[in-house]
């Protein structure tokens, strides 16, 4: 006898319609006819986005979620598997499923793609960070376009240098929408010892969940040469990244210049 909770297809039509409607309303890319587990994934994302489950906190069990959403446990499991593969949830053997956090060791290097020629990023040790500036400015047209805000709105501009073994290797300029990051200062950035995205997550409630990048080779200008201790003839890897929080909301534009004489850029294509 199957004692598993009924799936949506086995439940009443009004329940199915309501769940499908919620899923479709939460994302233009998730129509009502999407697979059932995708609809459950959207509803779990809604709870993550609303802060119902905080970073590092455990989410309800698969059985509890199956009862909550009136679907089978297998459907919930498939939705959670997909969220775990996207580094939004973390499964822990014998303990349950938890909301991923950028403070976790296995997540810290998720958005850092520069590796030493030895290939051992962790053996190299954490990057030394120098915050050059953190100031409030008005968004130019290109910054506003990237962050989906109006031109002239307030944004925070951060400049920092990352060094490995005391060698300046990455120069980064970041732009953040002003309202979500109100109160962020250079002193606050300098005082925080963990990853920057962990700071955004724990102190400002902004979790970066994915990013898009553009890469090209460039030559540095005079100021960039001085900060990276290199010459104007040294080619640099230019990486422009837009990082998104839940619901594909852009929350950071980052432009980095990478020295690659002792490091290489690595990405995994699925």
pLDDT profile of the chain (270 residues), mean per 10: 41 40 45 79 89 87 93 94 87 88 54 69 71 96 97 97 91 96 95 88 88 93 95 94 92 94 75
Tokens 């479709």 sit on residue = 24
Kindly list the structural domains of the chain, giving each domain's residue range(s) and its CATH number in brackets, ordered by start. 8-99 (1.10.10.10), 106-265 (3.40.1410.10)
Backbone angles phi, psi at 102, to 5 degrees: -70, -10
Residue 18's pLDDT is: 42
pTM: 0.72
Residue 178's pLDDT is: 96
Q: Is 152 exposed, middle or buried (0-12, 13-18, 19+ CB in 10 A)?
A: exposed
User: Are 44 and 63 contacting, i.e. CB atoms less than 8 angstroms apart?
Assistant: no
Residue 86's pLDDT is: 81
């Amino acid at each position: 006898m199957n004692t598993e909770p009924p799936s949506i297809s086995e439940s009443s039509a009004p329940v199915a319609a309501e769940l499908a409607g919620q899923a479709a309303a939460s994302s233009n890319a998730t129509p009502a006819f999407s697979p059932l587990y995708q609809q459950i994934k959207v509803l779990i994302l809604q709870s993550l986005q609303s802060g119902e489950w905080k970073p590092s906190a455990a989410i309800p069990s698969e059985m509890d979620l199956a009862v909550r959403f009136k679907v089978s446990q297998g459907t919930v499991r498939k939705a959670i598997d997909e969220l775990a593969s996207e580094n939004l949830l973390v499964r822990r053997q014998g303990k349950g499923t938890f909301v991923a956090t950028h403070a976790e060791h296995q997540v810290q290097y998720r958005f850092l793609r520069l590796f030493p020629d030895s290939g051992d990023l962790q053996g190299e040790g954490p990057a030394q960070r120098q915050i050059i500036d953190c100031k409030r400015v008005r968004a130019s047209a290109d910054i506003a376009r990237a962050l989906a805000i109006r031109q002239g709105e307030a944004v925070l501009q951060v400049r920092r240098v990352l060094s490995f073994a005391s060698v300046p290797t990455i120069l980064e300029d970041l732009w953040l929408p002003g309202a979500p990051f109100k109160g962020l200062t250079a002193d606050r950035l300098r005082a925080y010892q963990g990853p920057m995205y962990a700071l955004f997550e724990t102190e400002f409630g902004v979790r970066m969940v994915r990013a898009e990048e553009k890469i090209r080779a460039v030559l540095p200008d005079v100021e960039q040469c001085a900060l990276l201790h290199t010459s104007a003839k040294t080619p640099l890897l230019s990486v422009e990244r837009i990082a998104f929080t839940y619901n594909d909301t852009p929350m950071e534009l980052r432009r980095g210049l990478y020295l690659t004489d002792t490091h290489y850029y690595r990405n995994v294509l699925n």
